[in-house]
Chain A
Amino acid sequence: MQLTNRSKQVSNKEMTLAERAYLPAIATGLAITIKHFFSKKVTIQYPEVKRYLGPVFRGRHILKRDAEGRERCTACGLCAVACPAEAISMVAAEREKGEENLYREEKYAAVYEVNMLRCIFCGLCEEACPKQAVYLRHDEFVPVFTERDQVIWGKDLLVEDMNNRYTREAWTKEEARALDAKRASGEVTNVVPRAIP
């Protein structure tokens, strides 16, 4: 069976003098390596240059607000149940009068915490959520933490900033590059990654 046309028949024939001398083979090898010496390098200078990881990359969590800026989460706990790493915990509270512009429904999460050491970024919380409240961002990682109190992220870090809304705009690499260019020229501001604490 032939899978590619690059296969070579193995042979045990006697080597010629040139082959036994080994030096021509070394010269060929040296020519190949020196060609690579001058070729373009594939390295991406990471902290300065970041690769676009695609629209379905699962980065850090975000708790979405709706179009009027009200929190979507109703603290139903389905994400916590779905979480295989048991990273999510929450405390529910009832909405008071006058808080209708803050929370979308009568019940909301007074405390919503994700333990970033436990989280395995599987995205099951995203799938379980009936209110489209929790998402894993495709454009931001959880930054490296050096202190214990940076591990558990509360609502202060998770809830969406209305001035800097998270939209998954670029679905292809080309779109992402176009968006990057727009971001650099200042045309788009809402997709700039939020400053991470």
Chain B
Amino acid sequence: MDLVEFLVKTVTIVAVFGLTLLIAMYSTWAERKVAGFIQDRSGPNRAGWGGLLQPLADAGKMFFKEDFIPALANKWLFIAGPSLAMLTALLASAVIPFGSTFRIAGHEVALQGVESNIGILYVFGVVALGVYGIMVGGWASNNKFSLLGAIRAASQNISYEVAMGLSLIAILMMSSSLSLGEIVAQQHGMNWNIFYQPLGFIIFITCSFAECNRVPFDLPECETELVGGYHTEYGSMKLGFYLFAEYINMFISSAIISVLYFGGYNYPGMDFVYAQLVKSFGPDTGHNIATLIGTAVFFGKALFFVFFYMWVRWTIPRFRYDQLMNLGWKKLIPLAIFNIIITGAAVLFLKPVITAWLN
């Protein structure tokens, strides 16, 4: 690896990292704003214009609170918990393709931290690690409520990962690639996976709600039963990290949803736009502007799903624990397997027929 490539990668990774943090930060503001608007209120509007400085005020408050560690807690693990949650949440953003490529001085720079040919597998691995942050934190707190919350989180994540993976298999059968860049490239134009996999999409989005511990699956922090759930004993910035990790996860999973099902940076008529831009600005600048438009489209999709998360949160009440498990094991997994069979049959029998008919 030469120096230029190394620098380019460093800059991309730092940019992706910063962008993820920024979006997660403003998601906390947006969550409160959306909550307010849905409840006929106006939400935070005192700190800065429209409350835009609210995340800074919240972070400042978190930093200046007493950093308390309970006497009987396992100190090392107590600190490791939120750090792990934050680390695993941020790791997943590395493989997301935010756009196609930039052409700078003859170099093709991909708008993706790491182009990996097992991208989606990597995301899955990292997301599965995410449960450690919660489990370690809950266990280290030495508090029954924390432990119960952590156990709930762990069992919930493990249960829903199965259905999530199965719903993904249908996508992989169609794309025959694990690379996120490749999956996006295959959905060129309006050829989005959502039109082929509506059932798979519903299963996937339900599971991602459960994986992010969001309403209606936020049982790990069910206040009425568990005080604060796994972060009962946490305060100051350690609590802040847990809450922040949730918002990062939310953005990452929204990005993954738009990559897998909604074509990432693809939009209808992109070839026409690309041709026009190249014609009027030349091959390099035109290409870069087209990439920027694609990236904007990608962020539009991802942010819509972040909004959708919030929208659902302020609409649906929380599930009961047995309902959660029933839904995961008895409904979603059979449905996902059914979806695989349907997709397999369609790929085997329907696709040749349709291709023949179209030609």
Q: What 0/1 readout, one digit per residue, does chain B (303-324) give for beta carbons within 8 Å of chain A?
A: 0000000011011100000000
The reply on A41 being an interface residue by CB < 8 A is yes
Q: How far is the CA of A38 from the CA of B40 in the complex (A)?
A: 8
Q: Is A84 an interface residue (CB 8 A)?
A: no
A41: which B residues are within 8 A, CB to CB?
A: 36-37, 40-42
Interface residue B11 (Cβ < 8 Å from any Cβ of A): no
Q: Which residues of A contact B315 (CB under 8 A)?
A: 26, 29-30, 32-33
Instruction: Decide: A39 and B316 in contact? CB cutoff 8 A.
Output: no
Partner of B40, one of A23, A29, A30, A42: A42
Contact with B along A12-49 (1 / 0, CB 8 A): 00000000000100100110111011111111010000
Residues of A within 8 A of B311 (CB): 30, 33-34, 37
Residues of A within 8 A of B40 (CB): 36, 39-42
A39 CB contacts on chain B under 8 angstroms: 40
Number of A-B contacts (CB under 8 A): 37
Q: Which residues of A contact B39 (CB under 8 A)?
A: 36
Query: A42, B34: Cβ atoms under 8 Å?
Result: no
Specify which of A29, A30, A37, A45 is in contact with B37 (CB 8 Å cutoff): A37
Decide if B202 is an interface residue (CB 8 Å cutoff). yes
Which of B37, B40, B45, B315 gathers the greatest number of chain A CB atoms within 10 Å? Answer: B315
Question: Which single residue of chain A is at the shortest CB-CB distance from B313?
Answer: A33
B342 to chain A, nearest CB (A): 17
Given A26-B315, A26-B316, CB of A33 within 8 Å of CB of B38? yes
Q: How far is the CA of A43 from the CA of B33 in the complex (A)?
A: 13
Size range of the chain B interface in the assembly: 10 to 19
B348 to A: closest C-beta gap in Å: 28
**In the complex, per-residue mask of A184-195: 1 if CB is within 8 Å of any chain B CB, else 0:** 000000000000
**Chain A hits for B202, CB < 8 A:** 23
Q: How far is the CB of B163 from chain A (nearest CB, A)?
A: 16
Point out the residues of chain A lying under 8 angstroms from B45, CB to CB.
45
| Residues in chain B near residue A42, CB distance under 8 A | 40-41
Which of A37, A43, A45 is B38 in contact with, Cβ under 8 Å? Answer: A37
A36 to B38, CA, bound (A): 5
Interface string of B162-194 (1 = CB under 8 A from A): 000000000000000000000000000000000
Q: Are A43 and B34 in contact (CB under 8 A)?
A: no
Name B24-50 residues within 8 Å CB distance of A.
Answer: 34, 36-42, 45
Question: How far is B313's CA from A30's CA once the two chains are assembled, in angstroms?
Answer: 10
* Min C-beta distance of A191 to chain B, whole Å: 30
Cβ–Cβ < 8 Å partners of A37 in chain B? 34, 37-38, 311
Q: Mark A86-130, 1 if CB is under 8 A from B, else 0.
A: 000000000000000000000000000000000000000000000
Q: Which residues of chain B are near A33, meaning CB under 8 Å?
A: 38, 311, 314-315
Q: B36-80 interface mask toward A, CB cutoff 8 Å, 1 = contact, 0 = none? A: 111111100100000000000000000000000000000000000
Besides the known contacts A37-B311, A41-B40, A41-B41, 14 further A-B residue pairs in the complex with CB atoms under 8 A apart:
A23-B202, A26-B312, A26-B315, A29-B316, A30-B315, A32-B315, A33-B314, A34-B38, A36-B38, A37-B34, A37-B37, A41-B36, A42-B40, A43-B41
Sample 5 A-B pairs with CB under 8 A, ordered by A number.
Answer: A26-B315, A30-B311, A30-B315, A32-B315, A33-B38
Q: Which 10 A-B pairs have the closest CB atoms?
A: A29-B315, A33-B315, A43-B42, A37-B37, A33-B38, A41-B42, A42-B40, A37-B38, A36-B38, A43-B41
